Amino acid sequence: MKQFILGLVLVAMQYTVNSGEMLQSIAEQYCQGDDLRQVAEFREGIRELNYDVIGESDV
């Protein structure tokens, strides 16, 4: 049997979107690293957590 250590950190913060900002730019600002897939997943995570506010529209 193999043992793995799994860590999950959930951080919630409030962010006010400024005029001209997009989910992509916000995700790039807060996502660590330059992995485009990771940034895309982070962006969609923001959308999912705020779906009741933004729905499918662009920010």
Ranges of each domain in the chain: 23-54
pLDDT band at 8; cut points 50, 70, 90: low
> pTM for the whole thing?
0.70
Are 39 and 22 contacting, i.e. CB atoms less than 8 angstroms apart? no
pLDDT band at 17; cut points 50, 70, 90: confident
pLDDT at 5: 65
Are 1 and 16 contacting, i.e. CB atoms less than 8 angstroms apart? no
Euclidean distance between CA atoms 20 and 5, whole angstroms: 41
Euclidean distance between CA atoms 32 and 27, whole angstroms: 9
Question: Which 8-state DSSP code applies to residue 15?
Answer: -
Enter the tokens of residue 22.
Answer: 């997009």
Q: Over the stretch 29-57, which tens digit does the pLDDT of each residue have?
A: 888 777 899 999 889 988 888 888 888 87
What is the chain's mean pLDDT, rounded? 83
